[in-house]
Amino acid sequence: MNSIIIEKNGCLKNKLIKQSDKLYILCNYRNDNSFQNLYNWNFKNYTYELYGKKNGRINFKNNYIFMNEIQEEYYGNLCIIKKDKDKNIMDLTIEEWNNFHMSTIKNNNVIMDEIELEKEKYISE
């Protein structure tokens, strides 16, 4: 199955998964020290899981821009995998991830716009 590697420069590339418990190897780490599940998105019957490191040197900061809900900084290469409701790893393409990512950003912006409109309505009353 294909996963997505987010290189520290923000570029995406597909990479074949052989063992899910060795995801740190896909990200070119020598060991799994500090390598962890960083974030999960549930969408329809799937879960998109982000793996990587929260700590590192400033010159290894990952430059990928995530959707609004992620405010943390991550370091080095990151990995995204997709799982079905039974926790089986599914194929994930860059195109699918980009479509999901953009739709989530769009939905978050719509929700935030609606919240701002409600605030303005409340203040003006």
pLDDT at residue number 110: 37
How high is the mean pLDDT of the chain?
83
Q: Look at residue 112 and tell me whether its pLDDT is greater than 50.
A: no
What is residue 67's predicted lDDT score, i.e. its pLDDT?
75
Confidence of residue 122 (pLDDT cuts 50, 70, 90): very low
Judge residue 74's burial from the number of C-beta atoms within 10 Å of its C-beta, 0-12 exposed, 13-18 middle, 19 or more buried: buried
Tallying the residues shown for the chain, one arrives at 125
How does pLDDT run across 24-72, given as a tens digit for each residue? Answer: 999 999 999 999 999 999 988 999 999 999 999 988 999 998 876 677 8
Binned at pLDDT 50, 70 and 90, residue 107 comes out as low
Cα angle 104, 12, 83 (rounded to 5 degrees) comes to 60
